[in-house]
Protein backbone atom coordinates (compact mmCIF):
# COMPACT_ATOMS: atom_id res chain seq x y z
CA UNK A 1 0.00 0.00 0.00
CA UNK A 2 1.37 3.38 -0.96
CA UNK A 3 1.84 5.96 1.75
CA UNK A 4 -0.20 9.14 1.76
CA UNK A 5 1.68 12.40 2.00
CA UNK A 6 -0.06 15.69 2.69
CA UNK A 7 1.70 18.68 1.14
CA UNK A 8 0.72 21.88 2.93
CA UNK A 9 2.00 24.79 0.88
CA UNK A 10 0.36 27.98 -0.38
CA UNK A 11 2.80 28.73 -3.19
CA UNK A 12 1.73 26.80 -6.28
CA UNK A 13 5.23 26.76 -7.73
CA UNK A 14 6.55 25.15 -4.57
CA UNK A 15 3.69 22.66 -4.62
CA UNK A 16 4.69 21.68 -8.14
CA UNK A 17 8.31 21.30 -7.08
CA UNK A 18 7.43 19.17 -4.05
CA UNK A 19 5.15 16.95 -6.12
CA UNK A 20 7.82 16.54 -8.73
CA UNK A 21 10.37 15.55 -6.09
CA UNK A 22 8.05 12.92 -4.62
CA UNK A 23 6.30 11.66 -7.73
CA UNK A 24 8.84 8.98 -8.61
CA UNK A 25 8.17 7.12 -5.36
CA UNK A 26 4.53 6.59 -6.20
CA UNK A 27 3.16 8.10 -3.01
CA UNK A 28 -0.39 9.32 -2.91
CA UNK A 29 0.02 13.08 -2.77
CA UNK A 30 -2.59 15.31 -1.17
CA UNK A 31 -2.51 19.09 -1.12
CA UNK A 32 -3.68 21.89 1.09
CA UNK A 33 -3.05 25.59 0.44
CA UNK A 34 -3.82 27.16 3.82
CA UNK A 35 -3.86 26.23 7.48
CA UNK A 36 -7.59 25.59 7.74
CA UNK A 37 -7.70 23.41 4.65
CA UNK A 38 -4.63 21.61 6.00
CA UNK A 39 -6.41 20.65 9.22
CA UNK A 40 -9.49 19.46 7.30
CA UNK A 41 -7.41 17.46 4.85
CA UNK A 42 -5.36 15.88 7.62
CA UNK A 43 -8.38 14.90 9.70
CA UNK A 44 -10.26 13.50 6.72
CA UNK A 45 -7.38 11.65 5.07
CA UNK A 46 -5.02 10.64 7.90
CA UNK A 47 -1.79 11.09 5.93
CA UNK A 48 1.28 9.00 6.81
CA UNK A 49 3.55 12.02 6.61
CA UNK A 50 3.05 15.78 6.37
CA UNK A 51 5.15 18.41 4.65
CA UNK A 52 4.40 21.68 6.38
CA UNK A 53 5.10 25.11 4.98
CA UNK A 54 5.35 27.48 7.95
CA UNK A 55 4.21 30.70 6.29
CA UNK A 56 0.59 29.90 5.46
CA UNK A 57 -2.62 31.92 5.13
CA UNK A 58 -5.29 31.70 7.88
CA UNK A 59 -3.44 29.45 10.32
CA UNK A 60 0.37 29.27 10.15
CA UNK A 61 2.31 26.04 10.08
CA UNK A 62 3.42 26.27 13.71
CA UNK A 63 -0.19 26.55 14.86
CA UNK A 64 -1.36 23.79 12.52
CA UNK A 65 1.37 21.53 13.90
CA UNK A 66 0.42 22.28 17.50
CA UNK A 67 -3.25 21.55 16.75
CA UNK A 68 -2.40 18.27 15.03
CA UNK A 69 -0.16 17.14 17.88
CA UNK A 70 -3.08 17.53 20.26
CA UNK A 71 -5.09 14.95 18.30
CA UNK A 72 -4.44 11.28 19.02
CA UNK A 73 -4.33 10.44 15.30
CA UNK A 74 -1.37 12.77 14.77
CA UNK A 75 0.77 12.25 17.84
CA UNK A 76 3.33 10.24 15.84
CA UNK A 77 2.82 11.39 12.26
CA UNK A 78 6.13 12.63 10.84
CA UNK A 79 5.94 16.35 10.08
CA UNK A 80 8.64 18.01 7.98
CA UNK A 81 8.66 21.79 8.23
CA UNK A 82 9.78 23.88 5.27
CA UNK A 83 10.34 27.58 5.51
CA UNK A 84 11.96 30.43 3.62
CA UNK A 85 12.17 33.15 6.23
CA UNK A 86 13.69 31.58 9.28
CA UNK A 87 14.80 34.11 11.83
CA UNK A 88 16.82 33.48 14.93
CA UNK A 89 14.82 31.25 17.24
CA UNK A 90 12.36 30.16 14.54
CA UNK A 91 13.80 26.71 14.13
CA UNK A 92 13.53 26.11 17.86
CA UNK A 93 9.93 27.33 17.86
CA UNK A 94 9.08 25.09 14.92
CA UNK A 95 10.66 21.99 16.46
CA UNK A 96 9.07 22.75 19.81
CA UNK A 97 5.65 22.89 18.15
CA UNK A 98 6.17 19.25 17.22
CA UNK A 99 7.82 19.12 13.81
CA UNK A 100 10.30 16.28 13.34
CA UNK A 101 12.54 17.89 10.77
CA UNK A 102 13.23 21.30 9.39
CA UNK A 103 14.22 22.22 5.84
CA UNK A 104 14.91 25.69 4.54
CA UNK A 105 13.79 26.82 1.11
CA UNK A 106 14.65 26.56 -1.67
CA UNK A 107 13.81 22.90 -1.29
CA UNK A 108 16.59 20.51 -2.18
CA UNK A 109 14.66 18.14 -4.44
CA UNK A 110 17.20 15.37 -4.01
CA UNK A 111 17.38 15.58 -0.23
CA UNK A 112 13.64 15.80 0.38
CA UNK A 113 12.62 12.36 -0.94
CA UNK A 114 15.46 10.79 1.05
CA UNK A 115 14.27 12.36 4.28
CA UNK A 116 10.67 11.42 3.51
CA UNK A 117 11.59 7.79 2.80
CA UNK A 118 13.71 7.59 5.95
CA UNK A 119 10.95 8.99 8.14
CA UNK A 120 8.28 6.72 6.68
CA UNK A 121 10.50 3.72 7.29
CA UNK A 122 11.18 4.77 10.86
CA UNK A 123 7.47 5.36 11.43
CA UNK A 124 6.73 1.87 10.10
CA UNK A 125 9.33 0.31 12.38
CA UNK A 126 7.98 2.17 15.38
CA UNK A 127 4.45 0.99 14.77
CA UNK A 128 5.58 -2.63 14.31
CA UNK A 129 7.39 -2.40 17.62
CA UNK A 130 4.28 -0.94 19.15
CA UNK A 131 5.86 2.38 19.96
CA UNK A 132 3.40 4.09 17.73
CA UNK A 133 0.60 3.46 20.15
CA UNK A 134 0.17 5.58 23.21
**What DSSP line would sit under 2-55, residue for residue?**
PPEEEEE-S-HHHHHHHHHHHHTTT-EEEEESSHHHHHHHHHHH--SEEEEESS
* Subset of residues 64 to 103 that bind Mn ion, contact rule: CB under 5 A: none
Which region holds residue 133: left if phi is over 0, alpha if psi is between -120 and 50, else beta? Answer: beta
**Closer CB to Mn ion, 35 or 123, in the complex:** 35
Should residue 55 be labelled a site residue for Mn ion when binding is judged by CB under 5 A? yes
Should residue 37 be labelled a site residue for Mn ion when binding is judged by CB under 5 A? no
CB of 38 to Mn ion, least distance (A): 11
Should residue 34 be labelled a site residue for Mn ion when binding is judged by CB under 5 A? no
Segment near Mn ion (CB under 5 A); pick from 9-17, 36-44, 73-81, 95-103: 9-17
Q: Report d(CA 118, CA 129) in Å as an integer.
A: 17
**What is the size of the binding site for Mn ion (CB under 5 A)?**
3
Amino acid sequence: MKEKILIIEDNSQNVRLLKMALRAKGYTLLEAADGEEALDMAINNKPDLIIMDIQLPKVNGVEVTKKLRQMSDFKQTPIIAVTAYAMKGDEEKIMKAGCDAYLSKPINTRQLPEIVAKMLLQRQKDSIEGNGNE
